[in-house]
């Protein structure tokens, strides 16, 4: 039987899940990041080399580990591309090991705008969001108006969905 380890955080983040996963990945074949976005992140030191991860699973630093970004994630493409460029510059080969679920939702600039406007409108009840659009993206997922990673690679479908969603988001921003 294949053994499995699941690391679950029960707080609001910043529990050190990524660092624990990194320690556990030494012998792992697969690491799956089930949910979350780039609101926190963690730094991993290997010798004198420092790696800062915000989206990619911690197992990316192990040469033998397949890493999966699952459908429960919300992904800011700009943050992901910058992180992957940095990892590549640091000598990390991930091209055949990193898999991104087509069902993971995409964080767009309008999510960040909504995050900021909603946070400001809460006044003293503000929760201290990172304003990175994570909550509004998850809200779109729940409301079934979100755009997923798989739709980014299908241009005609993406264009149609984006036009529809932008119409909704522009109205939403006017009312907040």
The residues carrying an active-site annotation are 14, 42
CA separation for the pair 146, 75 (Å, rounded): 12
Buried residues in 33-66 as b, exposed as e (16+ CB within 10 A): beebbbbbbbebeeeeeebebbbbbbbbbbeebb
3-state DSSP assignment of residue 43: strand
CA separation for the pair 145, 164 (Å, rounded): 9
């Amino acid at each position: 039987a294949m053994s499995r380890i699941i690391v679950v955080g029960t707080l609001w983040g910043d529990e050190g899940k990524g660092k624990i996963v990194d320690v556990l990945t030494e012998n792992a074949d697969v690491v799956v990041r089930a949910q979350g976005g780039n609101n926190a992140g963690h730094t991993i030191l290997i010798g004198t080399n420092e790696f800062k991860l915000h989206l990619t699973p911690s197992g990316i630093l192990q040469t033998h580990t397949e890493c999966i970004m699952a459908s429960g994630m919300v992904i800011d493409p700009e943050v992901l591309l910058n992180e992957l460029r940095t990892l590549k510059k640091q000598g990390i080969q991930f091209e055949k090991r990193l898999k991104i679920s087509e069902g993971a939702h995409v964080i767009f600039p309008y999510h960040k705008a909504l995050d900021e406007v909603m946070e400001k409108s809460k006044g003293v009840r503000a929760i201290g969001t990172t304003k990175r659009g994570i909550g509004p993206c998850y809200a779109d997922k729940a409301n079934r108006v979100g755009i997923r990673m798989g739709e980014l690679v299908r241009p005609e479908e993406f264009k149609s969905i984006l036009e529809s969603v932008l119409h909704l988001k522009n109205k939403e921003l006017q009312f907040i």
